Amino acid sequence: MEIKLREWKFTDAQELARLANNRKIWDNVRDQFPHPYTVHNADEWIAAVLGKKPMRNYAITLDGKLAGSIGIVIQDDVGRCSAELGYWIGESFWNQGVATLAICQFIPLVWKNNPMLTRIFASVFDYNKASMRTLEKNGFYLESIRRKSVIKNGQVGDDHLWVLLRNG
């Protein structure tokens, strides 16, 4: 099994739309992630991230096949030393360690390409235990549980904040 991170390409649009157009994925990401997810959405995403330097969003591949996406959003103003990590894996690639290995490859790139960062965090819905385990395997720790702080599918829930600090 070979996991690689690479730059997005416009030729990824069809497969990106096929993988991302999945309610199970949408249930675990922010509402701004389109659902249904169309080729037009994929083209817009690729255009938005392509060619940015330093790269902050990568395609995840497994044995050369598009498997998902990983990236960061650098916070602004006084929070500019922090970045939020986001990722998703296509359902056909679940339970194969793809996310764990992708994060393992991604974190060193984040630190190298963003020397001002001191903290990477990820917000996880309380029901997404698999994502929590994946973060923990990569050295993230549970910093807090923000009670009743998020709403998804009309349900108010808890948000688990997982954190990785640059030097421990």
Interatomic CA distance for residues 153 and 113, integer angstroms: 36
Confirm if 83 and 75 have CB atoms less than 8 A apart. yes
Which residue reads 């701004």 in tokens? Answer: 32
pTM above 0.85, yes or no: yes
CATH class of the domain comprising 3-165: alpha beta
Answer whether residue 147 shows pLDDT above 90: yes
Q: In this predicted structure, what is the pLDDT of residue 128?
A: 96
Mind listing the pLDDT tens digit for each residue in 84-112? 999 999 999 999 999 999 999 999 999 99
Mind listing the pLDDT tens digit for each residue in 54-82? 999 999 999 999 999 999 999 999 999 99
Structure tokens at 47: 């255009």
Q: In this predicted structure, what is the pLDDT of residue 140?
A: 98
Q: In this predicted structure, what is the pLDDT of residue 32?
A: 95
Interatomic CA distance for residues 85 and 38, integer angstroms: 23
Interatomic CA distance for residues 90 and 110, integer angstroms: 23
Answer whether residue 168 shows pLDDT above 80: no
Summarize the confidence of residues 134-140 as an average pLDDT. 98
Confirm if 42 and 14 have CB atoms less than 8 A apart. yes
Q: In this predicted structure, what is the pLDDT of residue 51?
A: 85
Q: What is the 3-state secondary structure (H, E, C) of 38-88?
A: CHHHHHHHHHHHCCCCCCCEEEEEECCEEEEEEEEEECCHHHCCEEEEEEE
Summarize the confidence of residues 156-163 as an average pLDDT. 98
